[in-house]
Chain A
């Protein structure tokens, strides 16, 4: 029941937040905070109960529940939590808390409805990470989309309508393709077993022939790759991220992108092992292009949020690479990248939001030398940039190193080219630091004598509550970097099970790798 409770807490909490606005405009955020704290406690309890004893009776599944829903079409309310899901849930609730922190002062307009959307998005995400019935999965897939669309469309910045529409169209079209693929699968279950089924475990038994399996697999892949996003389906993301309010960017980058990666690991590969194996070289090529292409794009941006958005695409390339390497190193690397990127990108978006809040611009050309006046903020920006460029000792390094280690075993060439991304990452990360935080102190409107000075002088450094948020994320990244075993151990059974059950895929990949010199 715990999953249902978690989703209900978030949904009811969201409704409550909306309702309480009528009483006091500060109540919604308080409600949301309490709800998120409660969810965090629930998830942490779940972790504590099941670890450090990974061999719980249910095998890899810590929770596995099933209720009838639409029996006629074989649709069940089937949910499950394994190590992978649990880590994703942990990330979700943690970043949910951060998002509320980011919105705390920023959202003054219709806060009730904002927090409603925020919590409902999170509820959808929790559903996506736990649903084991593909119909239910798709249901939650949509649940998380619409509130997010509203967040961008209502509380976004100057070009929000365009960005929100673009986000919606991309996700909706890819969602439709995903739905078609799911229905195909359910239909073939009907053809082969005489009844419809959306059950994750039953659908494994469906046998699809060569080309057709590839086609259905591509349906899943496109659905998830748009969310990830993978090249060339990434173009919604820079607009959505740069236009969304900070909390929206945090959720998008930190959590929503991860649903794509999760979908690949949970569904796109395991359901279609042969097609996925054939497709692996293509996927890895896409990953490499994405890593390099978007790193280069990031370097050219002047809008700081757009820049971070492109780096997100670049980093998610490592996830794609790791997943399609489909060995334990690649998968665990993809997982660590997801977790670490969740924290770094969220923190960077929060910092960018903080800059916009203080100086009313996202144009990096207009500010420089902030270290002199905002040392705490600058130090944080430096830390998270360093983390993002893959400094060992912090989480992102573990993820990227393992992804590349795994990818190298599967495909030398892809791994070598992807590794060049490490160089590009250092180029753009340090460029941001140089442009915004180093150099001579200058803030927007500085050319007008006196005026700018006053403006810059009024800018406040991070408050203690902000420091608390960033501090938590710093600790998280150091933890992931110095002792990633905590997280790796949680996902190990799931990953090992996936690899074991798809042994053939592994074999085929390794054999192609061995053909290479």
Chain B
């Protein structure tokens, strides 16, 4: 089976080609079968490969398809590398991908761009599989850019609305800033080590570089730049909330489960470099910590159901970065997996809510939906429980592992741990805020429009009766992901051999108990604040007065805007760039040449003036010239 590894991305790629070349002329049923089936085949193959690989004693398997290019010492191949980490990623991508594809056939059923949607989705899965299978960084970069392209295409899928186009371009350009940093990192690695094969780099780096040497710090910092771009971490996180402009299944697949975790994968894959550069590694941890807190506070203030989930994604990837930063590699991958389950579940459930409510995104215009949308409700309860890390859900085990690992960090352990726990508290509040506001209390769907003025991906609110839209294709993925979100914590990720360590974290019962109590306490607070429960009236009053005070209101707006990062970047980069471009629209250099031409014209006119036709004028100039020349001859 292992020699068939090349087919993994080939199936969805073939699906993409089939859908593109038929240009939407295929009947929907067939287009759907191609789109879903190709990913399904990949999943089946990935599962078979996993079984065979884990059953064998081999630690890794390399398959060279062809030599991509051969220039001097630079000979990257189209070659795939399989180990425990790859296997985990393959199953997540193709498995969760398959479920989301299946769901999409229902979600997109009435969309005129049905085939186009699935063609982009298939291309995405193919690129993502190449990304995790690549045995060298150039091929990884191919997948890396490929998923970025598909992300762009799918965020801007509904292209007639310029706002979507803006969000799409923002996502592409911001991540490309990171990608460029990564590309420079590749140039540096190649110059220093003479190869871009990942395994060779991991072997050569410790031989070539001592711990903390300038080169390895630079190289890993540049790779980190790529990772923060793709994974929407500080300071390049601004694109992800806007990326919610795309269809909701896209948000589930690309902007929650797979692509945004590529940065985590990259750092885990090149973990040796980061271990050699402790300063960068601790930077990873602090980037994660800062991001998870910032996004957590922001999520507290959002009203758009998808933006809440988007900020929560940013925050959860922050946990993964925190784990990477403290060297808890397998905990990071474990959380990557559980997060893929429960966040895909939440997004798909949100998709059902949005579709059932005629493209309503504002949670304050929902309310009381637990009766009307039972499937979405239970999905949200399960997903939020896992996201909050309530005991025995999948998120509990993975977040537990991360926080315990953070506590063990020798220098900043306590700080990182406290920050992580505070983040968990925030997570509990904002996740259940969503649940309580949207699914409990009174129905607000028929409220007057004036109530809200916030941004929406979609503007077409046709207000009709609320009826849950859920056929088999949309319900089945929710059920499966729900089960995985609950029991996914019992899966062991087979990555110990990849990172060369078996991680086990122990802590006192007190610490454990505290970590269990904090999220529960958070859910309780959320219940008192947002469910309209009479017991929480005092708290609700306090929140209201806080919001109305000048400081509280300012803080809310500050958080709501994502800590003003967009405005800041606008001021620092976008505006100067546009202004400069406008200022020099006509090209200064060209105007210089224009000046030369003008000069020639003017001197032409000046010389023409001397041609007067009067003999006395010519005679005078002749004599004058003569005097001048003789004068120069005599005195010089």
Contacts and interface: CB of A to CB of B under 8 A. Distances in A.
Interface of A: 231-232, 234-235, 238, 296-297, 299-301, 327-329, 332, 369, 371-372, 375-376, 379, 386, 391-393, 397-398, 401-402, 404-405, 408-409, 415-416, 419-420, 422-423, 426-427, 430-431, 434, 437-441, 482-485, 488-489, 492, 517
B141 to A, nearest CB: 6
Contact of A419 (B66, B68, B149, B180): B180
Given A391-B149, A392-B138, A420-B180, 12 more contacts: A296-B584, A300-B584, A329-B71, A401-B138, A402-B71, A405-B74, A409-B191, A419-B183, A430-B168, A439-B159, A440-B162, A489-B70
A401 B23 contact: no
Contacts of A488: 69-71
Contacts of B187: 404-405, 408, 415, 419
A428 to B, nearest CB: 9
A484 B70 CA distance: 9
A392 B146 contact: yes
B612 interface: no
B577 A296 contact: yes
A441 B160 CA distance: 8
Closest 10 CB pairs of A and B: A392-B142, A408-B187, A300-B581, A235-B590, A438-B159, A328-B72, A300-B585, A232-B589, A434-B165, A430-B169
Given A232-B589, A376-B23, A439 B184 contact: no
A405 B162 CA distance: 37
Contacts of A404: 183, 187
B575 to A, nearest CB: 14
B96 to A, nearest CB: 24
Contacts of A492: 71
Contacts, number: 132
B589 A430 contact: no
Given A296-B577, A297-B581, A332-B71, A427 B587 contact: no
Contact of B183 (A238, A422, A482, A485): A422
B184 A438 contact: no
B191 A408 contact: yes
Contact of B581 (A299, A420, A484): A299
A403 to B, nearest CB: 11
A238 B586 CA distance: 11
Nearest to B164: A438
Contacts of A419: 180, 183-184, 187
Contacts of A369: 159-160
B187 to A, nearest CB: 4
A144 B158 CA distance: 47
Nearest to B583: A300
Interface in B66-87: 66-72, 74, 78
24 contacts: A232-B589, A232-B592, A296-B581, A297-B585, A297-B587, A300-B584, A369-B160, A375-B24, A392-B142, A392-B145, A393-B142, A397-B142, A397-B145, A401-B138, A401-B183, A404-B187, A423-B177, A426-B173, A438-B159, A438-B162, A439-B165, A483-B66, A483-B68, A484-B69
Contact of B68 (A231, A296, A422, A484): A484
B275 interface: no
B179 A371 contact: no
Interface in B559-591: 577, 580-582, 584-585, 587, 589-590
Given A401-B183, A419-B180, A434 B589 contact: no
Nearest to A233: B589
A438 B165 CA distance: 7
A300 B582 contact: yes
Contacts of A437: 159
Contact of A386 (B69, B149, B156): B149
Contacts of A300: 581-582, 584-585
A297 B589 CA distance: 11
A415 B188 CA distance: 10
B425 interface: no
Nearest to A420: B180
A355 B580 CA distance: 28
Nearest to A499: B72
A76 B584 CA distance: 48
B160 A440 contact: yes
Contact of A329 (B67, B72, B214): B72
Contacts of B146: 391-393
A301 B74 CA distance: 38
A375 B159 CA distance: 12
Given A329-B74, A415-B187, A431-B169, A485 B177 contact: no
Contacts of A232: 589, 592
Most buried by B among A231, A297, A437: A297
